[in-house]
C-alpha cells in the first residue's frame, strides 16, 4: 500500500525531503561533498557517533537549575541549587546532577538552541524535524507535518538488531 497525503506526496518522498534538516542546520551540499572528499583522501578520521539520546523536556526545569547553574551570577539570575564539577574542567552542573557530571567527558551536550518560529508549538516542530510547519501552529500544540530527524536517520541507517533504532514518547509533557 502506498501512503500519501492529500497533495499526493508519499511517506518515502517525505523521508527523503526530511534530510533537508541537515542543510537547515548549517551543513551545505558543498560542505558535505568536501567532508566526503577529505574522508576519501585519508585525512584524519572524524569520530563516528555510536548513539544519540535527545531529551526534549517541554516545560521541564530551566537549564540553569540543571546544566548551567551560573554560580558567579547574582542571586536573581543563578539557580537555587549548589554546583558540582563535571569531568570537563570549568563546567559545572547542578549539585543534583552528580552522576551525569561524572560521565560528562563521554558525551557532547548542546545547551543552546534557537528558532525563528512565533511560539513553542511551531518551534518544537521546527527543532524536531528541521522544517517549519506549513500552517500556523498554536502555542503548546503538538504537530508533526514532517518526519523527525531521528526517524530519518533510523531509516537511512537501517536496523541491525531487534530493538528499534529510534523511538519517541509523544504527548509526555
Are 156 and 81 members of one domain? no
Claim to verify: residue 122 and residue 172 sit in the same structural domain = yes
> Where would I find the beta strands (DSSP E) of 49-162?
83-85, 92-94
78 is in which domain, residue-wise? Answer: 68-106
Please check whether residue 35 lies inside any domain of the structure.
no
Cβ within 8 Å of residue 170, ≥6 positions away:
142
pLDDT at 84: 93
Task: Give the pLDDT confidence score for residue 145 in this predicted structure.
Answer: 73
pLDDT score at 22: 47
Whether the CA torsion 11, 4, 167, 25 is positive or negative: it is positive
Which pLDDT tens digits describe the chain residue by residue (173 residues)?
A: 455 555 555 655 555 554 444 444 455 666 666 766 766 666 555 667 677 777 777 667 777 788 888 888 888 887 788 899 999 988 889 999 999 999 999 888 877 677 788 777 788 788 888 888 877 777 666 666 788 888 888 888 888 888 888 887 766 44
Closest CA to 165 of 57, 55, 51, 54: 51
What are the residue ranges of helices labelled H in the chain? Answer: 11-18, 20-24, 29-40, 63-66, 98-102, 120-129, 149-157
The pLDDT, as a whole number, for residue 59 is 65
Element (H, E) at 118: none
Do residues 54 and 7 share a domain? yes
Centre a 10 Å sphere on the Cβ of residue 11 and count the other Cβ atoms it contains: 13
The tally of domains found in the chain comes to: 2
Taking the model in full, what pTM does it have? Answer: 0.52
Q: Name the nearest CA neighbour of 115 among 23, 25, 14.
A: 25
Residues 54, 131 share a domain = yes
Query: Which residue in the block uniquely carries the three cell numbers 551560573?
Result: 70
pLDDT at residue number 21: 46
> Residue 43 domain-assigned?
no
Query: Residue 171 belongs to what H/E stretch?
Result: none
Same domain membership, residue 84 and residue 120: no
Amino acid at each position: 500500500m502506498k501512503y500519501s497525503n492529500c497533495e499526493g506526496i508519499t511517506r518515502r518522498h517525505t523521508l527523503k525531503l526530511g534530510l533537508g534538516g541537515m542543510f537547515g542546520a548549517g551543513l551545505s551540499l558543498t560542505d558535505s561533498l568536501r567532508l566526503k572528499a577529505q574522508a576519501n583522501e585519508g585525512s584524519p578520521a572524524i569520530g563516528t557517533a555510536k548513539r544519540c539520546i535527545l531529551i526534549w523536556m517541554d516545560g521541564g526545569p530551566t537549564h540553569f537549575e540543571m546544566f548551567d547553574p551560573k554560580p558567579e551570577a547574582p542571586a536573581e539570575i543563578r539557580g537555587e541549587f549548589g554546583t558540582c564539577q563535571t569531568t570537563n574542567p570549568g563546567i559545572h552542573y547542578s549539585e543534583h546532577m552528580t552522576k551525569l557530571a561524572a560521565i560528562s567527558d563521554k558525551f557532547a551536550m548542546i545547551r543552546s538552541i534557537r528558532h525563528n518560529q512565533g511560539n513553542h508549538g511551531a518551534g518544537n516542530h521546527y527543532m524536531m524535524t528541521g522544517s517549519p510547519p506549513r500552517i500556523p501552529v498554536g502555542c503548546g500544540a503538538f504537530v508533526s507535518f514532517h518526519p523527525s530527524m531521528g526517524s530519518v536517520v533510523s531509516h537511512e541507517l537501517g536496523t541491525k538488531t531487534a530493538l528499534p533504532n529510534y523511538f519517541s514518547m509523544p504527548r509526555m509533557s
